[in-house]
Amino acid sequence: MDYRRLKDLPEELLPRERLFQYGPDALSNREILAILLRTGVKGENVLDFAERLLTETGGLSGLARLTVHELTRYRGMGTAKAAELKAALELGRRSVSSDPMVRPVINSPQDIAYLVMEEMRYLDREHFRVVSLSTKNHVLGISSISVGSLNSSLVHPRECFKEAIRRNSNAIILLHNHPSGDPTPSREDIDVTRRLSDGGQILGIEVLDHVIIGDNRYISLKERGIL
């Protein structure tokens, strides 16, 4: 039987009822997404809608990379639904990053690139961020400092070290993307790095590296001998 309407499904197969009875761990990605979407579209119940969205975007990781505006390009995704879905995905991301038991450890530039590559490689403007690290190089948090072309007026040492001090960080890693896809550091990148490194020495918070993200590649200023 083809269940075009969700209410035609047996109650034990409805996502929300399955959540109540078995808990969230028992649900598939499609079922969890269907609960967030709440309603389907013409010709698709919400489970079919959720499955199509996962297929077209490349799964949960693909969904997480999309902006609200990009989500609205998919059939059935209005601005309200796209905003709710994006908020739910962001809440999940924050819950993981705030859990000390699952905080990633950074031992190399490759580790930090792996952590942010899939998100930052698609950004259409330069985003400058600071990664705060513990004494054992666990990620304590990632702070957004500026959006736009990297220059010394946008990237002030006060803003870069404020969250690191609040988190009692031992060290930081500077991080930004090049929307062109080419991660080769500019003269401004190098100047800002050295300026912030000097500031870190005064504060007792070491600047371990500055990693520039391009299109599926990165450059470490530490590895280049610039820092």
Residue 99: what pLDDT? Answer: 56
Q: pLDDT (tens digit, 9 = 90+) per residue, 183-218? A: 999 999 999 999 999 999 999 999 999 999 998 899
> With bands split at pLDDT 50, 70 and 90, how would you rate the model's confidence at 1?
very low
Which CATH number applies to 6-97: 1.20.1440, 1.10.150, 3.30.1490, 3.40.50? 1.10.150
Q: How many CB atoms lie within 10 A of CB 79?
A: 11
Q: How many CB atoms lie within 10 A of CB 113?
A: 22
Residue ranges per structural domain of the chain = 6-97, 109-224
State mean pLDDT over 44-66.
87
Q: Are 84 and 39 in contact (CB under 8 A)?
A: no
Q: Are 214 and 224 in contact (CB under 8 A)?
A: no
Q: What is the distance between the alpha carbons of residues 5 and 104, in angstroms, rounded to a whole number?
A: 43
Tell me the pairing of strands 206-213 and 218-220: antiparallel
Find out if CATH 3.30.70.270 is the number for domain 109-224: no
End-to-end CA distance of the chain: 65
